[in-house]
Chain A
Amino acid sequence: QKEVEQDPGPLSVPEGAIVSLNCTYSNSAFQYFMWYRQYSRKGPELLMYTYSSGNKEDGRFTAQVDKSSKYISLFIRDSQPSDSATYLCAIGDSWGKLQFGAGTQVVVTP
């Protein structure tokens, strides 16, 4: 069993819809939670970073962490075609080791 499970998609939504992405993890020793966005043939870029349970908002993006359920989510409001990318969740430990999910491919259609 992988340490981080993420549905690879693809997830296709119409422009303006809310995109909902989630991951589950198994090791409670990991306490730092991230979401990365990766455009085709580019390196991942950090979107959201949090280390506590609850919600964190940044513009159209909201990251949600539920440590008791070992469940993390990313919501994208008012989705745009430019949001079409692969979204990877990652959980980290104090030493900088990150475990990534498989990534979910998101397609936002105009």
Chain B
Amino acid sequence: DTAVSQTPKYLVTQMGNDKSIKCEQNLGHDTMYWYKQDSKKFLKIMFSYNNKELIINETVPNRFSPKSPDKAHLNLHINSLELGDSAVYFCASSQGMVASPTYEQYFGPGTRLTVT
């Protein structure tokens, strides 16, 4: 059983298009995250939701809009895609925040986005 799953795994699209990435976790976790990993492997947090409430909203262009329909799902919609958006996007989930003694963060397999 996959703990954190993402669809699609690969996404190739042209500049200016709008696309969505979906994430689902079956771990019963309260908190979900979106990260971006660039070509140099640098991993940076974009957003996090706790019980469907936006907790972390980093300095990300407003073309990126997360949406959490329920605790188990966190989607990422990207408008007007640009070349610089090409990266691997990871979804993650955790039970509680990092300060919790039960904290452990599980990552999905990633969505490799290529904008041409």
A46 to B108, CA, bound (A): 12
A24 contacts B by Cβ under 8 Å = no
Q: How many A-B residue pairs have CB under 8 A?
A: 69
Q: Which B residues touch A98, using CB under 8 A?
A: 45, 98, 105
Contact A42 B98 (CB under 8 A): no
Contact A94 B99 (CB under 8 A): yes
Q: How far is the CB of A58 from chain B (nearest CB, A)?
A: 13
B27 contacts A by Cβ under 8 Å = no
Name which of B36-44, B63-71, B77-85 contacts chain A.
B36-44
Please count how many residues in chain A sit with their CB below 8 Å of the partner chain's CB atoms.
23
Interface of A, helix, strand, loop or mixed by DSSP? loop
A100 to B40, CA, bound (A): 13
Contact B97 A94 (CB under 8 A): yes
Residue of A nearest to B56 (CB): A97
Contact A96 B56 (CB under 8 A): yes
Name which of A13-21, A67-75, A76-84, A85-93 contacts chain B.
A85-93
Residue of B nearest to A86 (CB): B41
Contact A93 B98 (CB under 8 A): yes
Q: Which B residues touch A102, using CB under 8 A?
A: 40-42
- Evaluate whether A97 and B48 lie within 8 angstroms (CB atoms) in the complex, with A102-B40, A102-B41, A103-B43 already known: yes
Q: Which A residues touch B104, using CB under 8 A?
A: 46, 49
B94 contacts A by Cβ under 8 Å = yes
Q: Which residues in A have some Cβ–Cβ distance to B below 8 Å?
A: 8, 32, 38, 41-46, 49, 51, 86, 88, 92-98, 100, 102-103
